[in-house]
Amino acid sequence: MGKSSIRGNEYQTKVNFGDCDPAGIVFYPNFYRWMDQSTHHYFTALGHPTSHLVMKEKIGMPIVEAKCQFHSPLLFDDIVTIHSTIIEMKNKVFTINHDFYKDGKKVAGGYEVRVWCDMSSENMKAVTIPNDIRNAINHTESLV
């Protein structure tokens, strides 16, 4: 309700020549690269740029699971819009859903499960998602 048509959890990218394989379609690991980019964009739009989190606060969000289903191939020069939504948030773990659209048609859909981690020592350690982040996500997703 009341969300504008341009939302922080929309990320747009273009299919580059080098993203495509000899079959002329996107080489599929690039979809996961774009999911990763869209997750970073999500937190930036939330007011918590991951470049700051990662480089200054030594916080990381390593992946424990990622899945994607591919419905239609993407081609060189296609414009892709990714809608990203955090659909579940536990104490230290969250799941972010990513739907890929081309010309308004869903072409792929997947998710990532990520862990909030302190990377300041050599062994990264899962930590509780801080309240300011948690509140910002809840507000964006209307989870509360």
Nearer to its own copies, 23 or 144 (CB): 23
- Cβ 115 vs Cβ 106: under 8 Å: no
Q: Within 13 Å of residue 139, how many CA atoms lie on the same side as its CB?
A: 11
Interface with its own copies includes 118 (CB under 8 A)?
Answer: no
- Cβ 14 vs Cβ 78: under 8 Å: yes
Interface with its own copies includes 88 (CB under 8 A)?
Answer: no
Nearer to its own copies, 30 or 81 (CB): 30
Q: Which residues contact 68 (CB under 8 A, 6 or more apart)?
A: 28, 31, 32, 35, 98, 108, 109, 110
Interface with its own copies includes 98 (CB under 8 A)?
Answer: no
Among 63, 79, 127, 143, binds its own copies (CB under 8 A): 63
Q: Is 121 exposed, middle or buried (0-12, 13-18, 19+ CB in 10 A)?
A: exposed
Among 5, 22, 104, 131, binds its own copies (CB under 8 A): 22
What residues line the site for its own copies (CB under 8 A)?
16-18, 20-25, 27-30, 32-33, 36-37, 40, 44, 49-51, 54-55, 60, 62-71, 73, 75-77, 119, 124
